[in-house]
Amino acid sequence: MNAHVRSLGRFASLLAAMLVLVSACASPVALQPTTAPVVDAAATAAAAAAQANAAATSAAATAAAAQGSNNTGELIPVRLQLQWVVQSQFAGYFAAVDQGFYEDEGLDVTILQGAVDIVPQQVLASGQAEFAIAWVPKALVSRQEGADIVDVGQVFQRSGTLEVSWADSGITKPEDWRGKKVGTWGFGNEFELLAAMTKVGLNPASDLEIVQQPFDMSLLLNREIDAAQAMTYNEYAQVLEATNPDTGQLYQPEDLSVINFNDVGTAMLQDAIWANAAWLAESGNEDVAVRFLRASYRGWIYCRDNFDACVDIVLSNGPTLGRGHMAWQLNEINKLIWPSPDGIGVMNLELWDQTVEVATSQLVINAPPSEGAFRSDLSEQAVAGLAADGVDATGADYTPRTVEITPGGE
């Protein structure tokens, strides 16, 4: 697969902005999700090469997609830009390729893998991809700065962000961060955390110390900070995959205290499928989008119902972390998607409004997004097509698996 993803800005300027709650001043290049702590040099190099190839083929791919139908029998080329390197966070898209779901819809989909220096929504807005995966608040910043992009598929129904402490820290709720060292990656991942602080009356500039975290859990494991930011599907597992030096055994969930921003009420929508509004307006492209969404959703449904096979698909695409970690991650990703009461990809208006409220209150954006920032009609058509085929696109009866933690995620 070809590759592209996020670009990270300088944390020093963002941290200063965080402390005065004016993070809207941050560059969109500094607003990419931290979904993996490992930066694969080979993947980054591959991403740069892929970006050059994408630019060279952009006009041809866009023209082919604009035909909107497959009357000639030839597959329409479509590019999907990911946020990060191969991992189970994107399993549904790799499964859709592997299982032929895109091909069944008349599409030839190339997945552009992520890297440190790539911003998905900028790749999308510049015409180097037809679709991109991005967190909603970060894409709203890009929209505010002129990117004509629209959320056409809100795949994640819940936020996966946590703030993790040791059980003996006494931290069980946001108020307990007072006087503590609280970690965050920054780069646009801190907004749920800052909103939780202000919601309980904490001043991030004076009531606690905000510490820049590296893209791992080393500061928490070394007890250099009292709380660390983590994703349910990634960094939280990394703590559990580490050995407790006092016992010689892996850390256990009871060793940790977890604050979930979904429970706090400051959660923001994350992985969504975005498209360029101008591209969608071209003849036939809405049909291409519906077919792309329908096949992508089939991929996620496959990963819900064929768990082990889906982990194998991810592994066959070369993730930087092992089988144990990829299995944990897929299980947690499935929890963020299922159930989808209105159908996978259809926007939850309450969570959209909450995301916008947090984004505006934290000055991520200076005003609510203009009309058209999201649309659910294309996902609704895709879900209707799945239902007509007898496919369960809501997952009402979904039950998570119990995944065994393995040392180092191997």
Residue 17 pLDDT class (50, 70, 90 cuts): very low
In the prediction, which pLDDT does 188 show?
82
Examine the pLDDT at 146 and tell me if it is beyond 60.
yes
Residue 15 belongs to domain spanning: 11-158+270-409
DSSP three-state, residue 17: helix
Residue 4 belongs to some domain of the structure: no
The CATH number of the domain holding residue 85 is 3.40.190.10
Last residue of one domain, picked from the residues 240, 264, 288 = 264
Mark whether 283 and 379 lie in a shared domain. yes
Last residue of one domain, picked from the residues 234, 264, 294 = 264
Residue 1 belongs to some domain of the structure: no
Residue 3 belongs to some domain of the structure: no
- In tens, the pLDDT along 170-191 reads 999 999 999 999 999 988 889 9
Q: What is the mean pLDDT of residues 152-163?
A: 98
Distance (Å) of CA 91 to CA 3, 328, 335, 379: 15, 12, 13, 19
Q: Are 141 and 14 in contact (CB under 8 A)?
A: no
Residue 6 belongs to some domain of the structure: no
- Report d(CA 297, CA 73) in Å as an integer: 23
Examine the pLDDT at 369 and tell me if it is beyond 60.
yes
In the prediction, which pLDDT does 189 show?
87
In the prediction, which pLDDT does 137 show?
94
pLDDT above 90 covers what percent of the chain?
79
- Report d(CA 377, CA 380) in Å as an integer: 5
Last residue of one domain, picked from the residues 236, 264, 292 = 264
Q: What is the mean pLDDT of residues 200-220?
A: 96
Examine the pLDDT at 66 and tell me if it is beyond 50.
no
Q: Which residues, including other chains, have CB under 8 Å from residue 16's CB and lie 6 or more apart?
A: none
Q: Are 51 and 79 in contact (CB under 8 A)?
A: no
Examine the pLDDT at 347 and tell me if it is beyond 90.
yes
In the prediction, which pLDDT does 155 show?
98
pTM across the whole model: 0.84
Mean pLDDT of all residues in the chain? 86
Q: Are 266 and 196 in contact (CB under 8 A)?
A: yes
